[in-house]
A and B are shown apart, each in its own frame.
Chain A
Amino acid sequence: MYKTVNALYRQQQIGFLQRECKQRHAEKVSMMESIVIEHLSKKYGQFVAVNDLNLTVEQGVCVGYLGPNGAGKTTTIKVLTNLLRATNGKAYLNGIDVIHHPKAALEGVGAVVETPEFYPQLTPDECLSYVGTIRGMSGEAIAERSHAVLEQVKLLEVADKRTGQFSKGMKQRLAIAQALLHEPSILILDEPTSGLDPRGMVEVRDIIKGLIKTDITILMSSHLLYEVQEVCDKVAIIDRGVLLTYDSVKNLSAGQDVTVTITTLDPITRPEFEAIKALKDVTSVKRTETLALKLSFSGGPETQFHVLRGILNTGVKVVSYMPQRAAIEDVYLQLVPEGEA
């Protein structure tokens, strides 16, 4: 009897999703668009946190969501994850209206919002089992995936320890693990490296980079511009609830000078200096110390590689080659007025 009711319920759910998809198709919203935000606004009294926001994230794309404190990043993410109600506008996840049908819309979504706390009486295994069961995963699938994601976030050794004594970094890792548990098609991350030590930040970045190779769609807010440039395909910059720009990292980086500091094993000779200055795309070279110089050039990572090869071809013994500022940082600083970051 129960199974029959359950089967009917599932049929209803599938039917609902199919109708929803058809409706979305009729509205000419492509299913290749994983996240669609249309004229979204969120007000707290007179304060406008998000103002008429429009943003579309295509399937398989990683978008860095940038802005100063209070810009509306977390508010947007909270609306997308059913933690806040929108004042106006629409938001769709995998074509399903998350504002009116959050349960169906959040099926394929994994999210880390702020630094979530876990029930201190439960272990990581139990926390994952809790959300896995809520999501309808089988016991076997939960056990298998729990092992995999806890190993991925380096928490396997404490899988049976209660989370009450966990550090902020451990909780952040567990939050990432629960977001990945059901192999979501959309991952929404609100400052995922917040609270992590440098090693933890690198590891989380590596996890995200690994996910990008799959077909997953990622919307990731961050304060770390270099991190976004390193990890994301596209960047959206928001300030005072208004979207300032949304474009690929490549396009935003184009036209922005990259400054690189080079340190060498031996002092750079005059001919070597002139040879570097004459390299294609290099716009300026300045000696900063006996064994260091700073050079600027326009272009993306490919240009950065060619410049490095050109320097090595001059015979200079390069010890380090460090970009000083991310190109996205330049765009950000141009768009976001001083004093807001």
Chain B
Amino acid sequence: MAPNSVRQIATVIKYELLKYLRGRRLLAIVLLTIIISAIFLIVPPAIGTAYPKDPTDFITRVLSFLGVLSILSATFFGADAIVSEYESKTGYFLFPNPIRKTAIFVGKFIASALVSVGAIGLYYVIAVVSVRVIDGSIPANTGLSFAYSLIYLFAILAIAYLFSAIMRSSVYSLVLTFFTFFLILPIIDAVGSVAKFKPWFSVTFANGISQYIFQNPYPADKVFTTTAAGGPSAGVQTYSLVQYYPEIRLSVIVMAAYFVVAFVLSIILARRREM
């Protein structure tokens, strides 16, 4: 008799992790993490620049790549997780077994989350160890920053799974995931500054809390005013931009909502999808 779904999920996780370990994507993300960390640590002394003396400045600088790393993890480990079973026909091997599609989906998601958390965790470990060695202390709120980063990671991973459950092609799903988080949402976030609306609903905007949490006091929204010559008839014109900062509580709720909604929707769509 087939075991219960919990044991089957554990089996799916085991073999998904084995696939990741033998694939190139995990190696690529680990190498990328190490290389980026090394750049932040090697380049300043190489060009004769001192490290920031304030540990908070230092860790904020090192962790500035965190958003990109999260996006790459979601793209590599989530964007084609479902669609590939249909596109490459591996579903014909897995689905006609006595296992619920939900169990397969949950197992895959947990495996993707584990390797992504591993990559993000490695990045944090390198950052924390570096700042400890160089500046002698660990900034307050590092743990909170890591927690917020994980919520963001789960949110975008769930959205990547949603794209994967909808799209018919792995390539389209990979491209859509990457450009949504790397280009489309950041553009919306930037337009907010000019158009004077706070993009609190944007998951990439909300992710800012993992960086701003290091600042004391936590930054508040700021208005910048600049003047520019507008031509002979227009004269001098004044422009104002608003630097918006995500509110911690709202951002956590937004990211968690993205995770829950995307996760549930992707399970429903994956269950309904036919070979």
- A: residues with CB less than 8 A from B are 5-6, 9-10, 13-14, 78, 81-85, 102-107, 109, 111, 113-119, 121-122, 126-127, 130-131, 133-136, 162, 175, 178, 188
Are A121 and B19 touching (Cβ within 8 A)?
yes
- Considering only CB atoms, which chain A residue lies closest to B5 in the complex? A103
Of listed B8, B12, B23, B275, residue having the most chain A CB within 10 A: B275
Q: Within the complex, what minimum Cβ distance (angstroms) separates B97 from chain A?
A: 5
Selected interface stretch from B85-93, B148-156, B255-263: B85-93
Q: Within the complex, what minimum Cβ distance (angstroms) separates B77 from chain A?
A: 14
- Considering only CB atoms, which chain A residue lies closest to B101 in the complex? A82
Are B98 and A119 touching (Cβ within 8 A)?
no
CA distance A126 to B96 in the complex (A): 17
Q: Within the complex, what minimum Cβ distance (angstroms) separates A131 from chain B?
A: 6
Are B274 and A81 touching (Cβ within 8 A)?
no
Shortest 4 CB-CB distances between A and B: which pairs?
Answer: A116-B92, A81-B96, A121-B22, A83-B275
Residue B95 lies at the interface, judged by CB distance under 8 Å to chain A? yes
Query: Cβ of A83: which chain B residues have Cβ within 8 Å of it?
Result: 91-92, 95-96, 274-275
Q: List, sorted by A's number, 26 A–B pairs whose CB atoms are closer than 8 Å.
A: A5-B4, A13-B1, A14-B1, A78-B275, A81-B95, A82-B95, A83-B91, A84-B275, A85-B272, A103-B99, A105-B98, A106-B96, A106-B97, A107-B1, A114-B92, A115-B89, A116-B92, A117-B88, A121-B23, A126-B15, A130-B11, A131-B94, A134-B2, A134-B97, A134-B98, A135-B97
Query: Cβ of B94: which chain A residues have Cβ within 8 Å of it?
Result: 131
Are A117 and B2 touching (Cβ within 8 A)?
no
Are B96 and A111 touching (Cβ within 8 A)?
yes
Query: Cβ of B98: which chain A residues have Cβ within 8 Å of it?
Result: 102-107, 134-135
Query: Cβ of A135: which chain B residues have Cβ within 8 Å of it?
Result: 2, 97-98
Query: Cβ of B97: which chain A residues have Cβ within 8 Å of it?
Result: 106, 131, 134-135
Query: Cβ of B88: which chain A residues have Cβ within 8 Å of it?
Result: 117
CA distance A114 to B22 in the complex (A): 27
Query: Cβ of B7: which chain A residues have Cβ within 8 Å of it?
Result: 6, 136
Q: A103-B2, A113-B96 are in contact. List 8 more A-B contacts (CB 8 A).
A: A82-B96, A106-B96, A116-B92, A118-B93, A122-B19, A134-B2, A134-B8, A135-B98
